[in-house]
Structure 1
Amino acid sequence: MAEPGDEHAPAAPAADLPAVGTWSSLIVTTAIQAMVSMALLTLPAMAPAVARALGVSTTLVGTYVAICYLAAMLGSLIGGTLARRLGAIRISQVGLLLCAIGLVLCAVPWLPAVAVGALFIGTGYGPITPASSQLLARTTPAPRMALVFSIKQTGTPAGGMLAGALVPGLSLWLGWQGTLVVVAMACLLCASVSQPLRAPLDADRQPGEPLALGALFKPIGMVLGHKPLAVLAAVSFLFSAVQVSVTAYMVTYLNESLGMTLLAAGVALSVSQLAGVVGRIGWGAMADRGMGPRNTLMLLALLMIIGSVLTALLQADWPTALIWAIVALLGASAIGWNGVYLATVARQSPPGQAGVATGGTLLFTFMGVVCGSPAFGAVAGLSGSYRVAVAALAVPAALALALLVWRAIQARRA
């Protein structure tokens, strides 16, 4: 349940909708989320090999991720409006197509082509979450919202887990360019598989929804005009800076600082992503069953601080099981927060406006990625140590914890 004073009336009850809406919505949105997440993380998962081929530093992976999320910011702002106009499934299919085009462009061994490819991938990635929030808010009963949204958001770490488990091996077999093309083909396959569900799940689309320029600013105004949403947006900015750094740099950190092979580092990335999958479900259930979303987010911030420090202290001669346990702790917290956060945003949004509110808060979430990923690379470059950069991730997590505590005090006074 949400804390008193921190939520709007929930969306229309799922019982009023066709049976196809409930489970089909969750399954298809989770699969699409996983696919676009894997698309975005394919290049970072084999960053050392790509950097060697292009003759650049691995720290530039932060720039690649930042370009992706700059484009995703715009996509998230218009994603809710486009989902209302064309339908959540159709917009998701378009997103998958754009990701496929971007992956093929990234396979061209020329930095400008990779940059343009990153723009395409980000533009495809951005609308996916607002579209799925619009669909799930319409089909999910309020008491299950945190859990259902958390299950859907397992698609993001699941995509990262697939990238960590498959991409390094594929790159050794097919080369880095062939791997990008294979993942592009998987995006197109996912888009085609979702087509039979388009008609029933997009039945609420409103073709007359205007696409005026003001649609870009409506989500921002909604967030800034409502204090609980504004605080959530700020927290997501900080959390996402931690999350993207963990996801984008885990393989590079373990490969260059601990001397792990690319395959072993990829397995460790998969472990952290799997922990994020399990964590998202667990945190969602915890938030729904009495702890509350704000208290759950506080706990996650604390675990991020502990996980960042422990990960920075990893040594090459430590047992593999211990290394996996530590990266799993960091993954469960730094990757596991999104479902609770998105469910809370959906609860606090005006009826029927969950996609718009989600798009507004995601602008700040993606800003955290855009700022956090290059900042991590800069700290690593200036200090000459990825360990220092990993330890520094405790700072944004601590700031987020302070914001959440402040908001809890304000809510109790109110």
Structure 2
Amino acid sequence: MLGLILTLAVQATASMALLALPMVAPAVGTTLGVSAVFVGYYISVAYIGAVLGSLAAGSLVPRWGAIRASQLGLLLIAAGLVLSSSAQLALMLAGALILGLGYGPITPASSHLLAQTSSPRHMALIFSLKQTGVPLGGMLASALVPLVAMRTDWQWAIGVVALACAACAIVAQPLRRGLDTGLAAPDTAGSPGILAPLRQVWAHRPLRSLAICSLLYSAVQVSLTTYTVTFLHAELGMTLVAAGLASSVCQLAGVVGRIGWGWVADRGLGALRTLALLGTLSLACSIVATLMPATISARALLVLLGAFGAAAIGWNGVYLAELARRAPQGMAGTITGGASAITFLGVVAGPPLFGLVSDLSGSYRAGFAMLALPLCWCVVRLFADSRRSRA
């Protein structure tokens, strides 16, 4: 239980940091004299750093321990936020990269710890509970950062989040002795290389299949959360305030979904079939979003957004638990590091591709239609893997 609480707190703090600057994007754009869409490039650079950080975590976590790796990640995130508050474009992008380098080890570290301390019967639920830290961090960012910025300025708001990251790293220190146990001995033959976790994932077909599906699912998830407000405003004529409130239904459903799907997977459906079911539900929602009339009722729209959020945001915990379950003994962090690097590539590529398709077609409906293609592939692949696993 202590490991779950700590990893949840670290995940929420790191997620809050990643989303801090987007919460004050208009003010940042005014200060820099650039468009607020600069935040899209900032996030892309951050996730490029996260890819590298995830790969590095593959060897760092087993050797240093999950808590020490998380502390290092949080301190790097804090340093990245300090640079991000500089109001100088080059330094801010460097800060985004450093922030991403710190964000990358967070998930592999937590998987390493939870795989050692969780009961196999409840692993999907425990991992899903930990993963609620991502939307909880988003809620914290949306509540805290604009409030501090309004009372001071956006740079002070970013600084407050940096202090929170450093404080979380300090609070974790007394717990390290009891949780960072069974550390791997240093490799006297030399480092296996930063790409070793990626090669280990790619060499095993079940892990490779899961990782590819996570890439596509993450692209769908971030495209949904990035463009929902714009879609509702541009295609359905909703005000920005109303669209924002409707979009929050997605996030809330994602929190509930992460817990609920973890329970479903543990209760007998299994991880692969649960993930396939979520892909099927996301596929149905993307088709409905493509075809729904502009006159759709508010109730039907909220049901659609809730279902879409529960499926497209709720898959992460089940996926991470299955990775940890399939990883060799003591290698959950390494395998998660390699797989997370693939997952983050979907985050980097998904929203720009969604935006490009929508821009070329003149409608965000085309973007949602595009999401159906990778979802179809994932559903077929996951059901096939589930049948093969049972056989």
Q: Confirm or deny a common fold (TM above 0.5).
A: yes
Write the distance in 2 (CA, Å) between the matches of 1:169 and 1:386. Answer: 31
SS at match of 2:181: coil
Report the alpha carbon displacement of residue 240 of structure 1 after superposing the two structures with TM: 0.8
Q: 1:56 to 1:375 in 2, by over 3 A?
A: farther
1:291 is matched with 269
- What is the DSSP-based 3-state SS (H/G/I as helix, E as strand, rest coil) of the residue aligned with 2:86? coil
Q: Which amino acid aligns with 1:66?
A: S
- Say whether 1:375 aligns with 2:353: yes
Q: 1:392 to 1:178 in 2, by over 3 A?
A: farther
> CA shift at 1:266, angstroms?
4.8
1:327-346 per-position Cα deviation (integer Å, ceiling 9, x unaligned): 32222111110111111111
Structure 2 CA distance for partners of 1:56 and 1:409, relative to 1, 3 Å: farther
Match of 1:353 in 2: 331
* Greater RCO structure (CA 8 Å; 6+ sep): 1
**CA contact under 8 A between 2:111 and 2:336: conserved in structure 1?**
yes
Tell me if the contact between 1:59 and 1:377 (Cα under 8 Å) persists in the aligned partners.
Answer: no
Residues 28-177 of structure 1 mapped to structure 2, 5 A cutoff: 28-51=6-29, 53-177=31-155
Provide the rounded CA distance (Å) in 1 between the counterparts of 2:271 and 2:73. 29
Moved more, 291-300 or 49-58: 49-58
Give the 3 Å change call, closer, same or farther, for CA 304–383 of structure 1 in structure 2.
same
**What letter corresponds to residue 35 of structure 1 in structure 2?**
T
Structure 1 Cα separation of the partners of residues 208 and 168 of structure 2: 34
Q: Secondary structure at the match of 1:214?
A: coil
Distance 1:85 1:230, change over 3 A: same
In the other structure, the counterpart of 1:15 is none
Aligned-residue offset at 1:239: 0.4
Per-residue CA distance 1:291-347 (angstroms, 9 max, x = gap): 111110011112212333445678888666654443322221111101111111111
Structure 2 vs 1, CA of residues 169 and 25 (structure 1 numbering), >3 Å: closer, same or farther? same
Residue 195 of structure 1: aligned partner: 173
**Residue 401 of structure 1: aligned partner:** 379
Q: Which moved more, 1:246-255 or 1:401-410?
A: 246-255
**CA deviations over 1:152-190 (Å, ceiling 9, x no partner):** 111112112323444445544444333322222222222
Q: Per the alignment, do residues 156 and 318 of structure 1 end up closer, same or farther by CA in structure 2, a change over 3 Å counting?
A: same
Unaligned 5+ runs, structure 2: none
Aligned-partner SS, 1:109: coil
> Residues 247-284 of structure 1: CA distance to partner in whole angstroms, max 9, x if unpaired?
34445555666666666555444432221111111101
What letter corresponds to residue 73 of structure 1 in structure 2? V
Shift in CA distance, 189/325, structure 1 to aligned 2, threshold 3 Å: farther
The letter for the 1-side match of 2:308 is L
The whole-number CA distance in structure 1 between the counterparts of 2:268 and 2:354 is: 36
CA gap 1:42/1:388 in 2 versus in 1, 3 angstroms: farther
Q: CA deviation at 1:401?
A: 1.4
- Give the conservation status (yes or no) of the 8 Å contact 1:86–1:207: no
- Structure 2 partner of 1:235: 213
After TM superposition, the structure 1 stretch with the greater mean CA deviation from structure 2, 267-276 or 196-205, is: 267-276
* Counterpart AA for 1:328: G
* Match in the other structure for 2:162: 184
**Separation of aligned partners in 1, 2:80 and 2:255:** 26
The structure 1 residue matched to 2:343, chosen from 365, 372, 379, is: 365
Aligned to 1:25: 3
Structure 1 gap ranges (5+): 1-22
C-alpha distance in 2 between matches for 1:48 and 1:320: 29
CA distance in 2: counterparts of 1:99 and 1:237, whole angstroms: 23
Per the alignment, do residues 150 and 54 of structure 1 end up closer, same or farther by CA in structure 2, a change over 3 Å counting? same
CA–CA distance in structure 1, aligned partners of residues 30 and 243 of structure 2: 17
Q: Distance in 1 between matches of 2:237 and 2:258?
A: 30
Question: What is the rounded CA distance, in whole Å, between the counterparts of 1:93 and 1:43 in structure 2?
Answer: 21
The aligned length equals: 391
**What corresponds to 1:308 in structure 2?**
286
Taking a change above 3 Å as real, the CA distance of residues 121 and 387 of structure 1, as seen in their structure-2 partners, is: farther
Residue 126 of structure 1, CA deviation? 0.3
2:16–2:137 CA contact under 8 A, matched in 1 = yes
